[in-house]
């Protein structure tokens, strides 16, 4: 379970520095969106990974899901025109959304008494 959160934290760091790695830091809205969204994603993922109670991690999936959706759909708002910029933002967003949904579904089954989470 915690490994998923560390993956999300790594993707958050990637998305935070992406405007300067792919040289679109000059696109102010895109760079600001990546900076704010990446920091929120990274902080939420690290908080979830370091939280001692596994049963609370379900609630950390909500900000992860929202950040993932932002990165998966923000291309329509922020004006990315390069294919590399587009895919290096959309794929991490889709991965984060998938991880958040996986975590949420796993805890719903746990609360129903099936398939308990791994507690690490």
| Residue 120 confidence class, pLDDT cut points 50, 70, 90 | very low
Classify domain 2-111 at the CATH topology level: 1.20.120
Report the pLDDT value the prediction gives residue 81, as an integer from 0 to 100: 65
**How would you label 83-115 residue by residue, b for 16+ Cβ within 10 Å and e otherwise?**
eebeebbbebbebbbebbeebbebbeeeeeeee
Task: Break the chain into its structural domains and give their ranges.
Answer: 2-111
pLDDT, tens digit, 9 for 90 and up, residues 71-109 = 998 877 766 667 888 888 899 999 999 999 988 888 766
d(Cα 104, Cα 2) in Å, to the nearest integer? Answer: 13
pLDDT, tens digit, 9 for 90 and up, residues 37-59 = 999 999 999 998 888 776 677 78
């Amino acid at each position: 379970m915690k490994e998923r959160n560390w993956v999300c934290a790594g993707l958050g760091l990637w998305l935070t520095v992406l405007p300067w790695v792919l040289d679109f830091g000059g696109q102010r809205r895109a760079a600001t969106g990546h900076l704010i969204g990446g920091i929120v994603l990274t902080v939420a993922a690290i908080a979830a990974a370091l939280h001692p109670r596994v049963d609370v991690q379900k609630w950390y999936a909500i900000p992860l899901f929202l950040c993932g959706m932002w990165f998966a759909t923000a291309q329509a708002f922020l004006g990315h025109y390069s294919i590399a910029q587009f895919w290096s933002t959309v794929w991490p967003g889709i991965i984060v959304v998938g991880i958040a949904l996986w975590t949420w579904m796993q805890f719903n089954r746990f609360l129903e008494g099936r398939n308990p989470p791994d507690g690490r």
